[in-house]
Amino acid sequence: MQRAALSLLKSGAKHVLLFGGSRSGKTTILVIVIIFRAARYAGSRHLICRLRTKDARSSVLHETLIPWLDKIVGKARYKLVAHDNYIRLWNGSEVWIGGLGDKEQVDKILGHEYNTIYFNEVSQISYAAVNVAYSRLAMNIPGCRNLFLYDCNPASPMHWAYKVFIRKIEARTDTPLVKPELYASMVLNPADNAENLASDYIEDILDPMPEKQRARFRDGLWVKADGVVYDRFEEEMILDPEEMPERFDFVTAGQDFGLNITNVKVGWIAGAVYVFADYGAYNMPTRTFNEELAARGWYRNGDGSANIFPTFCDPAGGERIQEITGGVKANNSVDSGIDYIAALMEKKRFFVCSTCTGVLQEIADYARDEANEIVKVNDHYMDAMRYAIFSQAQYGVVCA
Ligand SMILES: Nc1ncnc2c1ncn2[C@@H]1O[C@H](COP(=O)(O)OP(=O)(O)OP(=O)(O)O)[C@@H](O)[C@H]1O
Ligand SMILES: [Mg+2]
C-alpha cells in the first residue's frame, strides 16, 4: 500500500494527499519521501508543518523523522539544529519543522523558500494558512520537482481538503479546479499497515469505537464528527445567493483576531439570522485586514452607499478593536452564545449563504471533546459568527 502511495508522487501531481484511518503509515511514508528528496538533491530545503509546533516536534520530529533519518542516512550524516528547529544533512540540505498556528514560528518558517512543503494533519490547518504557505514553494534546485504533501485523518465532507482533493473544486468558491490533474490523493487505512501495528490495535482499539469515530479512524471515511456543536445545522439552511433576502432589517458583524483573522457578516429579519458574507486571512495585521474588507465593499450597500454597522470583536483584541470599522467589544460567553445559535437552528431561523465557505467549512466540524470542552481547532469563523449573532442578541443594538 505504501508503495502505491509512492507511485502517486511520480504521477505528475503537484499536490498529494494521503488520508485515512489512524496509524496507517501516512506520516511515515511522507517523511521518508522528504528524507530521500533531501538526500538526493544537495542543498535543497523542505518544510514539515502542522498546526502546533509542539505536536510537530513530538509526533513528527522525534517519533518519525529522527528514527528514519538514523535508518536511512545514519546519525553521523545529519545534525539537529534544535534552536532553529531544523535538521541539516551532510549535503547541505535542510528539513525544517514548525507550527503554522504559532505566531512566533510562522515568520521564521515562512521566511524561507522550499522544494517540498508537507502539511501534516491538515484537518486542523486552515485553508488560508495553507494558501499563504503556497507562495513559499519556490526554491529552484535543478532536477527537483517541487511538491506539496498533505496527510490527515478524514474530517467532515465540508472540509477544504475534501473539496479540493476528492470533489476537485476550489474550496473558497466551490468552482471546478482549473488543473484537477495536479491534485492526487489516496486512502491508507490501519489494515493496510497491520504488519507494523500491535496485533490487537484494530480489534481492541478501533473496532469498539463509536460509529462515527470508527468510520474516520478505522475506515478512513469523511463523515460528520461526534460531539458536533451545531448538530441541528442542516443542508437546507444553506441558501444560494438568489434565495437570500434582498434587504435585512439591520446588519451586524463579528471579528476574530489572531493568526487566522476572520470576519463574518449577518443580516437580521424579524429574529431570523442570515449569515451572508465571510472573509478570512492568515498572518495579516488587523489594519490591513480591515482595509481589505473595505476594498471588498464590506462597508457599502449594493448601490454603493456607505453601510456602517456594529462589528462585535473578540474582547481580547484590545487596541485592535479600534482598527476595525464600527468595532465594539463582543460578548464572549461561549456556551450561552452557542446555545442561542443552536436554538435559532432548531427554530429554523438560521441560514447561511452558500458563498460563505469559511463558515460552512467549520460548522460541521466544530465539536466538543470527551471532557465536553470546545475543540479549539478550526474555530475562527465560528467565533466570529458567534460574536456577530450573540452580542446583538444580548446588547440589542439596532442599526438601520
Ligand atoms: N514502512 C514502515 N515500516 C515500519 N514501520 C512503519 C512503516 N510505516 C509505518 N510504520 C509504523 O506504523 C505506525 C503508524 O505509522 P504513522 O505514524 O506513519 O501512521 P499515521 O497514518 O500517520 O498515523 P496517525 O493517523 O496517527 O497520524 C508507527 O508506529 C510507524 O512507525
Ligand atoms: Mg500521522
What digits encode the pLDDT tens for the residues 292-341?
A: 999 999 999 878 889 989 999 999 999 999 999 999 999 999 999 999 99
pLDDT above 60 for 9: yes
Kindly report the pTM of this predicted structure. 0.89
pLDDT above 70 for 181: yes
pLDDT above 90 for 365: no
What pLDDT does 397 receive? Answer: 53
| Closest atom of ligand 1 relative to the 31 alpha carbon | 18
CB of 23 closer than 6 A to ligand 1? Answer: yes
The set of cell numbers assigned to 61 is: 520530529
Cα distances from 329 to residues 36, 140, 255, 399, in angstroms, run: 51, 47, 9, 16
pLDDT above 60 for 372: yes
CB of 311 closer than 6 A to ligand 1? Answer: no
pLDDT, mean over the chain: 93
**C-alpha to C-alpha distance for 343 and 386, rounded to whole angstroms:** 13
Give 111-146 pLDDT, tens digit per residue. 999 999 999 999 999 999 999 999 999 999 999 999
Report all structural domains of the chain as residue ranges with CATH numbers, in order of start: 2-217 (3.40.50.300), 235-395 (3.30.420.280)
What pLDDT does 399 receive? Answer: 43
Higher pLDDT, 396 or 283: 283
Give 12-35 pLDDT, tens digit per residue. 999 999 999 999 999 999 999 999
What pLDDT does 398 receive? Answer: 47
CB of 263 closer than 6 A to ligand 1? Answer: no
What pLDDT does 91 receive? Answer: 98
Ligand approaching nearest to the C-alpha of 24:
1
- Mutational test site, ligand 1, from 2, 17, 19, 23, max ligand atoms within 8 Å of CB: 23
Tell me if 6 sits within 8 A of 14, measured CB to CB.
Answer: no
Q: What is the mean pLDDT of residues 363-378?
A: 88
**C-alpha to C-alpha distance for 262 and 388, rounded to whole angstroms:** 12
Q: Taking every pair of C-alpha atoms in the chain, what is the biggest distance, in angstroms?
A: 71
CB of 27 closer than 6 A to ligand 1? Answer: yes
Q: What is the mean pLDDT of residues 346-364?
A: 94
**C-alpha to C-alpha distance for 45 and 138, rounded to whole angstroms:** 10
Residue 266 CA to ligand 2 centre (angstroms): 38
Please tell me the residue having the least CA distance from ligand 1 atom 6: 196
Ligand approaching nearest to the C-alpha of 26:
1
What pLDDT does 400 receive? Answer: 36
What pLDDT does 371 receive? Answer: 86
Higher pLDDT, 211 or 263: 263
What pLDDT does 70 receive? Answer: 98
Please tell me the residue having the least CA distance from ligand 1 atom 9: 25
192-199 LR contacts (CB < 8 Å, sep 24+): 192/1, 192/2, 192/20, 192/24, 192/25, 193/1, 193/2, 193/23, 193/24, 193/25, 196/25, 197/23
If pLDDT is split at 50, 70 and 90, which confidence band does 55 have? very high
CB of 124 closer than 6 A to ligand 1? Answer: no
Please tell me the residue having the least CA distance from ligand 1 atom 15: 25
Please tell me the residue having the least CA distance from ligand 1 atom 11: 196
pLDDT above 90 for 154: yes
Residue 38 CA to ligand 2 centre (angstroms): 20
pLDDT above 90 for 83: no
